[in-house]
Amino acid sequence: MEDYEHAAMADPFASAVSFFTQLICDLSGPAVLALPHQDVEEMAAARGRELARLLLQAHLDLRARHEEAELTVLDPCARAALAGGRTRLERGHHRELATIIGTVRVTRCALRSPGQANCYPADAVLGLPHERHSLGVRKLAVLEAVRGSYDTAMEAITRCCGKVVGKRQVEHLVQAAAVDVAAFYAARTPVPQNASTLLVLSADGKGIIMRPGHLREATRKAAERAKRTFRTRLAVGEKTGRKRMATLAAVYDADPAVRRPHDIIAPPGGRSTARIPRPGPKAQAKWLTGSVEHDPEHVIAAAFDQAQARDPQHRRCWVVLVDGARHQLDLIQAEAERRGVNIHIVLDLVHVIEKLWAAARCFHAPADPAAEDWIAVKAARVLHGCGQQAADEIRAEADHRKLTGDQRTAADKACQYLNNNADFVHYDRALAAGWPIASGVIEGAARHLIADRLDITGSRWSVPGAEALLNLRAVISNDDFPAYWNFHVQAERRRLHPAADQADYKLTA
């Protein structure tokens, strides 16, 4: 053992070389030559990871030697300049670092002075975090946690890296990894586009089930005041009061694509095969954002910030797709007025079609094929810019059939919806200009950013936890994660190890 320790002191890589030599001997031995491939594969993977850990440990030990040698020859003035007045050198300080190949020990020197915390120059050179988990582990934690539950993320990390992190630590690492998302996008300059390229904005809301202490105050009070019809289940129209609304927004570019109403909706009896419908505008350079922590006005302002960065001179045509929510409309119009930008608001056609289908059930049985033709006629009216005429026809039909009360509720709601949004259903103009008329991008974002991860069965969220995952999933959906991670690493290094601490001295250890 003494000979081994002396060899390790002489050469930090001696233990790694010895381990590698033993691994070769084992893999070439008669016992392993008789094993099936899966056993050899597992052995090579496990011991290969240990070899990598030993190599990293040896590298860190070598750097520790260099650091000690360099600091030892510095005079007190140089040490004071390096460490903010600290001049006393202490060797042999240790800390653990959990990495993607296992846990290693980092040895470094401390510069000390009475009444001041220790200064560790090697921590700044290595860019070490204050906690024990390396940036590689943090990155892996983010990539696994955004895909599935924290339990499955921890299991995946353990399979890959060994036991280096627990579930609660994964949650903490994910939240810490999301702190620079807003600064990252504020610092980015989008690629400029031609003035003819459309600039499209859209917003939507999606509820997330929260822990009781993380509901908005109004939701919590409403849940406490609610009177339940049944003890064991909710009646129609009753809500559990467990959700907090997240606001999502999307901004993207699109080339205009001129269409006509019959490109959107098939005529009664179906579309002939002789004519292929013209395609609509295709989303390009899509950017998503969302927040469950901040109010809708904050998210909408962020979307306008992104649009402003893409078109600072307001030379492009700004199209805003909405679903008819009054509060959302008011916020969008107020933000556009504040920035002095002219926007064209278009009501999402899909929401109109849904209202028409609900109205159709007032006049047709659920399985009646004639309902589809009824929808085609009314939708064609709306697409031709005659939304008010379509509403009048629906009311007239309800009157003619002498529908009353609940029999005509859905029909009246569809008419009211068209009337309330009369300024935003000029689809004839939108189609002629080549604008999009459906908010599929933001609807898909609500599913992808929230439903696929935050709606996992049994999930109950805190505001910080949900906000971090929502932001990181948006960054990944925007194909910005590699750039964001580099930005985050640099920002984290500036926070933990300001350049002023190192003065002009550059330590090579």
pLDDT tens per residue across span 268-306: 877 766 678 899 999 999 999 999 999 999 999 999 999
pLDDT band at 308 (very low <50, low <70, confident <90, very high): very high
Residues in the chain: 509
| Residue of 223, 388, 217 lying closest to 295 (CA atoms) | 217
Report pLDDT for 5.
Answer: 47
In the chain, where the domains are located: 2-128+490-502, 198-450
| Phi, psi dihedral angles at 115 (to 5 degrees) | 80, 5
What the block records as the tokens of 25 is: 């001997």
Stretch 255-266: mean pLDDT: 92
pLDDT band at 160 (very low <50, low <70, confident <90, very high): confident
Element (DSSP H or E) covering residue 45: helix 37-72
Stretch 382-395: mean pLDDT: 94
pLDDT band at 507 (very low <50, low <70, confident <90, very high): low
Of the chain, the percentage scoring pLDDT greater than 70 comes to 91
Interhelix angle 387-400/409-420, rounded to 10 degrees, is 160
For residues 446-460, one letter each, b for 16 or more C-beta atoms within 10 angstroms of the residue's C-beta and e for the rest, the string is bebbbeebbeeeeee
- Can you say whether the dihedral through the CA atoms of 155, 160, 161, 163 is positive or negative? positive
Q: Which residues contact 178 (CB under 8 A, 6 or more apart)?
A: 467, 468, 469, 471, 472
Q: Tell me how crowded residue 474 is: count the other CB atoms within 10 A of its CB.
A: 25
| Residue of 122, 55, 75 lying closest to 94 (CA atoms) | 122
